Amino acid sequence: MRGASPDTHDVLVVGGGAAGLMCAITAGQRGRRVCVVEHANRVGKKILMSGGGRCNFTNTGTTPANYLSANPHFCKSALARYTPWQFIEMVERHRIAYHEKELGQLFCDVSSKLIVRMLLDECQAAGVQVETACSIEQVVHDDDGGFTLRTTRGAFTAPSLVVASGGLSIPSMGATGFGYELAQRFGHAVLPTRAGLVPLTLSGKHLDRMEGLSGVALPVTASCNGQAFSNAMLVTHRGVSGPSILQVSSYWQPGDALHLDLLPGRDALDWLQAQQRERPAAELKTVLAEVMPKRFAQRLCEVWLPGAATPRPLRQYNLPQLRAIASVLAQWPLVASGTEGYRTAEVTLGGVDTDGLSSSTMASRHVPGLYFIGEVVDVTGWLGGYNFQWAWASGHAAGLAV
């Protein structure tokens, strides 16, 4: 516990996650006296749990098109001024081994702990003070325009306050609505938030039809509201997950149509006709089981594919029947009832409206000295390292301005 007079800094950063630490490093390197206030007992908890413990720390193919936001142009400036290659340069300088998994996604070879270690080492080199287990009791906007944080570890004051408190996903990891509440208090609009990159749930007959398939995975192309993602789908106890579903979940809202192409990369009718020509005596479920898991192929025939429940050889299907089957295989309707919510979501969609922020500095247009960065802002990336790249880039942009 510190004495009565506040600890004075140039910059206070609320939240020691990806965005907050990057902002602190950038500002500290410019000679600014920075203090990071983190309420959890350690910084970077989401970094630690990310990418299955190996942190998918960036994506080499990052473009603004990989982000959802009410203003799709907002992210452009920050992303252009801090590219994946700049973060990779830091990773290489710290001799952290990494590899590309797929689609430009870079992961640590060993552990995400190395990324947190790197960020803390950079903080130390830049003279950044990091306060953990430090809960904010009050945010005061001082008469001189500065900010004072009254915390369980004393008071901290500075002319600049950067809000990097993240979104609502995984509350057990320290996620709070702090940033949204603070934004509203200072006159910022906050766009409705919802869970993104999240498994979808099924209910009623839609869930019953999947009974016993939990654990089955297959490649699909999942489409919703004009976006399509080709990758694996995984059947869970409650519904569906896997990368293609997580991606499309960010574009889905209850009631929206969601379709899966179960033969991605193939024309379903051409493929069925070729099978019929080449193997007229084979059953549909047998040929399908060669391109998808057997249990799933069997269930498709029993429940979804018209006229396929009773076993019969392919030669007995006429063209209209094959067409009807092809159309289900190419556009399998998935009727989701909801999502698993913030408990398992990787990100929070929506957040602090970018209309109230400068896209080059992340500064508030309403309150001088106030900044919002990272996930708390209404910019949400796809699965695959894009969210960390936004955290680094927006943190860097603010770090250059504070």
Q: Name residues contacting ligand FDA, limited to 194-253 (CB under 6 A).
A: none
Matching residue, tokens 């340069």: 89
Position among 178, 209, 269, 283 found at the interface with ligand FDA (CB under 6 A):
178
* Vertex 367 angle, CA 357 and 120, to 5°: 70
Least distance (Å) from ligand FDA to the CB of residue 360? 18
- Beta carbon nearer to ligand FDA, 122 or 375: 375
How near is the Cβ of 174 to ligand FDA at its closest, in Å?
A: 3
How far is it, in rounded angstroms, from Cα 398 to Cα 183? 16
For 176-190, b where at least 16 C-beta lie within 10 A, e where not — what string?
ebbbbebbeebebeb
Q: Which residue number, 182 or 233, has a Cβ lying nearer to ligand FDA?
A: 182
Q: Can residue 393 be called a binding residue for ligand FDA (CB under 6 A)? A: no
Tell me the per-residue interface mask from 56 to 95 with ligand FDA, x by CB under 6 A, - otherwise: x---------------------------------------
188/285 with CB nearer ligand FDA: 188
Residues 260-299 that bind ligand FDA (CB under 6 A): none
Q: Among 6, 84, 146, 166, which residue interacts with ligand FDA (rule: CB under 6 A)?
A: 166
Query: What are the DSSP E strand ranges found in 132-258?
Result: 136-141, 147-151, 154-158, 160-163, 190-196, 200-201, 217-224, 227-235, 239-241
- Could you tell me the smallest distance in angstroms from the CB atom of residue 10 to ligand FDA? 19
Closest CA to 9 of 287, 286, 345, 402: 402
Q: Which residues contact 350 (CB under 8 A, 6 or more apart)?
A: 190, 191, 192, 193, 194, 378, 380
312-351 residues near ligand FDA, rule: CB under 6 A: 346-347
Closest CA to 63 of 51, 47, 78: 78
Q: Which residues bind ligand FDA (CB under 6 A)?
A: 14-20, 37-40, 45-46, 49-51, 55-56, 136, 164-166, 169-170, 174, 176, 178, 346-347, 374-375, 385-388, 391
